[in-house]
């Protein structure tokens, strides 16, 4: 008898993430399932909460609002810079991501939200910030995590971390 999903369990799921415009942002159906450690914030909080108590074979159409997903969109995390700030040999495209330096010199991942004439709007928000996340989930496996996995905060072995 496999345990129900609870904190400290290694959980294997298949998922499909659909956005409100109908586009599929990501999915595991047809390839390797996702393995995560429940209760360790490996997945967005709204999904983790809704999967609590589910068992192997259970399915879920889990709707996760932005504030329990990748956060609300923060317009102050957006910046408009001239195209000339980029190397001339780079063909700029919406959605392109790259690394810049934050205020304190720390590496900061950003992506291009819009191209506007001679200007480029770059965003430090998560690309899915502000979006409602519509997950279709199938629970494939649940097992107790090992002490080492709990200590590391992630799952080891097939589908997990190798180190």
Say if residues 38 and 5 touch (Cβ distance below 8 Å).
yes
Pick 144 or 161: Cβ nearer Zn ion: 161
d(CA 130, CA 7): 27
Task: Tell the smallest beta-carbon distance from residue 163 to Zn ion (Å).
Answer: 6
Counting Cα atoms < 13 Å in the Cβ hemisphere of 27 gives 13
Q: Which residue, chain included where needed, has tokens 């957006």?
A: 78
- Judged by CB, which is closer to Zn ion: 103, or 163? 163
Identify which of residues 118 and 148 has a Cβ nearer to Zn ion in the complex. 148
Q: Per CB under 5 A, does 2 bind Zn ion?
A: no
Q: Which is nearer to Zn ion, 101 or 163 (CB)?
A: 163
Q: What is the nearest approach in angstroms of Zn ion to the Cβ of residue 157?
A: 10
DSSP state letter for 29: T
Q: Nearest-CB residue to Zn ion?
A: 152
In angstroms, what is the minimal distance from the CB of 8 to Zn ion? Answer: 15
* Closest distance of CB 155 from Zn ion, Å: 8
Distances (CA, A) of 80 to 19, 72, 100, 111, 126: 26, 20, 14, 12, 17
Structure tokens at 140: 């494939």
Footprint (CB under 5 A) of Zn ion, residues 103-162: 152, 161
User: What's the min distance (Å) between Cβ of 153 and Zn ion?
Assistant: 8
Within a 13 Å sphere around the CA of 69, how many CA atoms are in the beta-carbon half? Answer: 21
The contact set with Zn ion (CB under 5 A) reads 152, 161
């Amino acid at each position: 008898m496999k345990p129900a999903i609870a904190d400290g369990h290694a959980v294997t799921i298949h998922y499909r993430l659909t956005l409100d415009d109908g586009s599929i942002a990501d999915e595991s159906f047809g390839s390797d399932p996702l393995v995560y450690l429940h209760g360790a914030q490996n997945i967005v909080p709204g999904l983790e909460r809704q999967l609590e108590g589910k068992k192997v074979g259970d399915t879920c159409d889990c709707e996760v609002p932005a504030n329990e997903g990748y956060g609300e969109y923060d317009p102050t995390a957006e910046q408009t810079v001239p195209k000339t700030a980029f190397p001339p040999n780079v063909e700029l495209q919406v959605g392109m991501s790259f690394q810049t330096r934050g205020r304190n010199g720390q590496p900061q991942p950003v992506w291009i939200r819009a191209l506007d004439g001679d200007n480029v709007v770059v965003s430090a928000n998560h690309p899915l910030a502000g979006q409602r996340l519509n997950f279709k989930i199938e629970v494939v496996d649940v097992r107790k995590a090992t002490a080492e996995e709990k200590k590391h905060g992630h799952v080891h072995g097939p589908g997990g971390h190798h180190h």
